[in-house]
Structures are given as C-alpha cells and as structure tokens.
Structure 1
Amino acid sequence: MTTGRPWRWRVFWSYLPDWVLTIALWGAFYGVDKIDGYRRLFDVTDTSLAHPYARKERVPVWMLAVVCGLVPGIIILLVAAVRRSFWDAHNGILGFILSLGLVVTFTDIIKITVGRPRPDLFDRCQLPPGLTANPTHGLTSWTVCTRTDKLQEGFRSFPSGHSSFAWCGMWYLTLYSAAKLRTYNNKGYTFKSWLLLAPISCSSLIAVSRTMDYRHHPTDVIAGAIIGVLGAWWGYRQYYPALVTPKSFKPFRPRVPRDDALPLHNLGPATPGTGEPDGYGETVPLSHPSSPHIRDASV
C-alpha cells in the first residue's frame, strides 16, 4: 500500500515542469520586450497620431499589476483557504499565472511585429517644423523625427498590453468566481451576476483609460481584450472543467493517480454504487457515497 507522502511528492514532481515553463514564459516576455521592433511608415497629415503625450497615465503599470495580477491571486488563495483545499489553490494560481504569461508574451510579440504608431506619435517624434507633407507618392519614416527617446514605445500601439493583461486577470477571476458561486446551477440567483460584473467593469475601465491617455486606438484595446479573454479561458480550462458542468466548482484531480488500497483514499468522489472517481480532486468515504460535504484530496 502506498502511503500519502510519497504520492504527494510524485504529484509535486509531475507539476514542476508546469511551474518551470510558466516562469520561462515570463522570462521570454522580458527578453522579447527589449527588441526594438518594426516601425511602420506614417502620414504626417494623419490627425489620429497628433494627440498629446500623457506624462501621467491614469493606470500606470504598477497599478495594473496590483489590481489585475495581485488582487485576483489573493482572492483565489482566500477562497481556497476557506474551502480548506490546497489543491484548489495550486490549480487556481498555476492556471492564473499561465494565462497571464501566455497573454503578455503573445501581446508583446504582436506589438513588436506590427509596429503600429500610437495616437501620441507626433508629440513623441517632434517632426521638423517645415515638414507638412509626405514625400511624393509615399509616406514618412520615423527617421525624420527630431526626438527619439520615446520612439520605441511609440510604435507599439497594437494590441494594447494594458487591455490584454487587465482582461486576462479579471476574466480569469470571473470564471473562477462563477464556478465557485455555482452560477450555472439552473437556480438563477441575480446577485451572482451583479458580483461578477465587478471584475468585468474593472477590466473595461482600464482598457478605456488607454484611449483617454491617447496611448492606444480603440481597435487596439478591443484586440487586447479579445486576447486577454481567450488567454484566461485557455489557462483556466487546463485545470478546471467548463462552467456548465455539474461540478464546475471543483478542480481536476492530479495527473498522477493515487494507488492507495484503502477506498477512503480514492482521489475522486465515489459514484454511488460503483466507488469510481469522477475525475475531480475530491475525496469521500465509500460508506457515505452521497455525502454533500466533500473535501478536496490532501496533497
């Protein structure tokens, strides 16, 4: 009979590559961010690029990280602590940082490849006073700019990084919260929808603030929101079932099966009359197969 501790270590080692890869993704993001990137030609008569450069952003990067990164992580840990489920905390945080890592890396790759000018490009560039038209049959290059210290970021408008990060963090929290609230249990309590409106409103306002600061065009924040939502859904579904499933509030069981001989230590909750686990990280004595008070396996 296998004891609990060796099994816990097998689970730990089986998920270690996931944590290492996620950390590597964040490292890739910082590496990609240093690349100069492509800079598109532009029209000096394009008024959409003539907005002022905002010295003070409404939502700076540090605030974005706290509100859409740190706060959702703390909420996930608190919910898991209330449920006394280490496994829920593990899956919730791992899926969360996976989502953010995928989103910020992908967003940065697109940014440096597209090279779209920001709405405040002319203020960053400081065009020569006499330059009022493009070359004949052509467009103007960034090389005419009299100021270049802010130009690298000036050509990273599409998609919006603030928008993709905010929507990823808040949408993941929405999915996690909706599952724990049993939103789709066919009982229709309206207070759940109002609670879930909070993270969605937060990400929406952050995305809109980027157009108010003239850092992004509207299409930039829309694209960023789509990337963030898809990234959050992708990371969440790696470790949790769909919201419409009966046990959406429970994380998937570990990929390493527990082979204890005692039925009490079966990893999944027993199906009445069969004693078979259902694939979620829960445990229940076979003497009470229908007990509603099921707790996660201790890992």
Structure 2
Amino acid sequence: MPMPWQKSQTTSSGGRVTTSTSAKSRRLRIFLSYAPDWALTIILWGVFYLLDKINGYRRLFDITDTSLAHPYADPERVPVWLLAVLCGVVPAVIIIAVAAFRRSFWDAQSALLGLILGLGLTATFTNIVKITVGRPRPDIFARCMLPEDLTENPVHGLTSWTVCTQPDDSMLKEGFRSFPSGHSSFAWSGMWYLILYLAAKMRISNRSGYTYKSWLLLAPLSCCSLITISRTMDYRHHATDVIAGSIIGIIGGWYAYRQYYPPIGHPQSYKPYSPRIPKDEEIPLHHRHDRSSTEGMLKSTTKPDTHHHPSGSSGGSATMTGQPLGTENRYRPGGEWTSVNVGDRQRYQNGAGNKVAGSGDDYGEAQETVERPDDTTA
C-alpha cells in the first residue's frame, strides 16, 4: 500500500502517475476484476446441466412421415465425451501451448476465459431452444416404439407422444430435442474460436499470402464439419437442425473471442486486450518536479536554453518550446531533451521496447497487449 506521501496523480490525458507500484496489490485487483467472468461461466455451465433435466415440450408428429422413420444408431459416431475432448479440451491445450511458447500468462488467461465463455453461452442457449421447440428427431419412431396396430393419425389431427410404448422416458425425452443440434453448435463454437485464435497468432491477415496458414486452419474447420455431418449420418438430426446449430456455434465463438481480442484485421490482432485495471505509470527519475506544464507553455517564446551533461561538459542544446499539458521533460543520451506524455504508459520505455526499471510485474502487458478502445470518445 502506498504511503500517505506517495499519493497518485492524474494527468490531463487520464493516466495515473505513482511513485511506487505494488505488484501484489495490482495482481489482486486484476484477479478480482475478472472473478465475475469466471463465476458467470461456471453458473452458465450449471444452468446448462439443470436445463438438461427439464422435460420440455413434445410436438405432435405424423406417423406417415418417412423422415421420422430412421433407425436408432447405437453407438453414436461422436459421443458426448469425444465431442468435449475434441472441441473443448484440444483447443484449451493448444491455447496453453501457444501462450507458453510466447511466455504470456495474460494471453493464456484471456484465451481460456473466452473459450469457456463461448462454449458455455452456446451450450446454454442451444439447450433453451431445444426444450422449447420440442422437434422430433429422425429416429423418433424407433425411440417411441409405436404400437403395431397404429397405422394412421387421428381424424383431422396428428399423433401425440402419449401413444409411445417406450419404457425408458429419458430416451423418449431426448427424441424430442432435435432442433437445433447441440453437437453442431458446441463443435463450431470451440473450433471457430480456435480458428480465430490461430489465425490471429499466425498473422493470417498480414497480406503476405503464406499458403501453409490456410492449410493449418483447415484442420479445426474439418473437425467441426465432420462432427456436424455425423449427426445426420446417425439420424440424430435433420439437415436444418445442424445448419442452425452451426450458425449458433459460429456466433457464440466469435462473440466470446471478441470480448478479449481485437478483430482479425487489426494490425496487432495476435495480442489480447490489456487488463481492465490500468497499469500505474512510473515517473522517470530525471523528471523535473518544479517545472509545471503551464509554466512551460508560458515560456514558449523564451530563448534556447543550454543544458549540460551530468559531468559538466556541454552536451548540445534544445529549444524549450511550449509543452502541452500532461508532459514532462526527459533527458536522453546525446544531450537531447524530449517531451513525453506521462498519461501514456506505452511511452515510458527504455530503448527499443524495454520497460522502465522498477515497473513491476505487468502480467503480459506492454508489448504483449493491445489497448482497449476508449468508449468515451466519439
């Protein structure tokens, strides 16, 4: 905690200037700022499992409809556990590997949170629609076990699920959850998120035209496509079911990705957004406390002022013209003084992208993040 005499100051550009930065305090603030995101994600998954236990609506059907007379496939080509591994675990492992290679903790935290959020949103929304629509699956007749003497619908009507002789109610309940396809939405959400993540990391929009990048992205694209197709091969879904599920998954994956990363066309799309907690700026040790920005503006018409090296020898001169508010004079090797905006934390760097000594742990910020857009600007 800063001492009473180490109060924070605010510059004209909105940046905070402190003479001491507590790495532990900032770490705690960052974790607390993202705790609601993780909590919401966990709640979403809890809601998903609760919704799965609801009976839901069951539509009437026509017993002469041949699109509902397909056999019940057991086992499925892609069971639920394999879907979770391919489209949930595999993208998470790839994200962790890429972040470890880049040595960016912040990239791993942002990417994993976005992935889990996208999958949770997609799965929950899909389940809500499923239990509300209650569309029969293509294998509903096999699940229902219609009576052998039932050969036609009621006069001027359709057949209800109550005529079914299936003793397993859970199988019958799943038979009326055809639209949209949960496998398709989950697969496309996870794989589309991975496609966006890898495309950004490979700088696919840098106009260099490396063909191997497109071929690498074909792997996750093929994975979700084949999973989607398998649902029609197993007669679990109609074509419209998997199309709707794929669209939901793409939207969910894209939405979650854009919460933590800039668009693919951004020049620095491979970097995550910076944390919500702004980084405290460090004042250079050679700044001038006794020279205010206003005083510098009032002296904009003064004659050139000559400065010397610390050793006493002349190191060149510079004209001290009026400075905008929120700037400080900074000495650079070679006898040159420059004005630096203390509200811009990206400008306090030593040399080519090196952070100022004593800046503390930035958790992958600075050169590894992209500044969030200012919502207050027009």
Q: Which runs of 5+ in 1 are unaligned?
A: 264-272
Q: Which residue of 1 aligns with 2:150?
A: 131
Q: In 2, distance between residues paired with 1:102 and 1:284?
A: 39
Larger helix proportion of the pair: 1
Q: 2:251 aligns with which of 230, 245, 257?
A: 230
Residues 207-246 of structure 1: pairs in structure 2 closer than 5 A: 207-246=228-267
- State TM-score, norm by structure 1: 0.91
Q: Which residue of 1 aligns with 2:365?
A: 297
Q: Which residue of 1 aligns with 2:219?
A: 198
Q: Which residue of 1 aligns with 2:134?
A: 115
Per-residue Cα deviation, 1:124-166 (whole angstroms, up to 9, x for no partner): 0011111111111100000001114111000000000000000
What SS does the corresponding residue of 2:349 show, helix, strand or coil?
coil
Instruction: Report how far residue 296 of structure 1 moved.
Output: 2.6
Per-residue Cα deviation, 1:222-267 (whole angstroms, up to 9, x for no partner): 111000000000000000000000000000000011114257xxxx
RMSD (Å) for aligned C-alpha atoms: 2.2
Residues 39-78 of structure 1: pairs in structure 2 closer than 5 A: 39-78=58-97
Q: Which residue of 1 aligns with 2:186?
A: 165
CA contact (8 A) 2:58 2:135 kept: yes
Q: In 2, distance between residues paired with 1:144 and 1:262?
A: 79
| Corresponding pairs, count | 285
Q: Which runs of 5+ in 2 are unaligned?
A: 1-19, 285-339, 356-362, 369-378
Q: Which residue of 2 aligns with 1:253?
A: 274
CA contact (8 A) 1:100 1:168 kept: yes
Larger strand proportion of the pair: 2
Instruction: Report how far residue 289 of structure 1 moved.
Output: 4.7
CA contact (8 A) 1:3 1:260 kept: no
CA contact (8 A) 1:118 1:156 kept: yes
* AA at the equivalent of 1:25: L
CA contact (8 A) 1:125 1:148 kept: no
Query: Identity of paired residues, percent?
Result: 64
Mark the structure with the bigger radius of gyration. Answer: 2
Instruction: Report how far residue 17 of structure 1 moved.
Output: 0.7
CA gap 1:262/1:296 in 2 versus in 1, 3 angstroms: farther
1:89 to 2:153 alignment: no
Instruction: Report how far residue 216 of structure 1 moved.
Output: 0.4
Q: In 2, distance between residues paired with 1:109 and 1:222?
A: 17
1:183 to 2:251 alignment: no
What SS does the corresponding residue of 1:296 show, helix, strand or coil?
coil
CA contact (8 A) 1:39 1:117 kept: yes
Q: 1:145 aligns with which of 156, 164, 183?
A: 164
CA contact (8 A) 2:180 2:242 kept: yes
CA contact (8 A) 2:281 2:345 kept: no
Instruction: Report how far residue 123 of structure 1 moved.
Output: 0.3
Per-residue Cα deviation, 1:87-128 (whole angstroms, up to 9, x for no partner): 000000000000000000000000000000000000000111
Runs ≥4 residues deviating over 6 A: none
* AA at the equivalent of 1:17: P
* AA at the equivalent of 2:349: P
1:288 to 2:352 alignment: yes
Q: 1:36 aligns with which of 35, 44, 55?
A: 55
CA gap 1:284/1:17 in 2 versus in 1, 3 angstroms: same
What SS does the corresponding residue of 2:260 show, helix, strand or coil?
coil
Q: Which residue of 1 aligns with 2:31?
A: 12
Q: In 1, distance between residues paired with 2:230 and 2:247?
A: 17
Q: In 2, distance between residues paired with 1:59 and 1:289?
A: 48
Q: In 2, distance between residues paired with 1:194 and 1:285?
A: 39
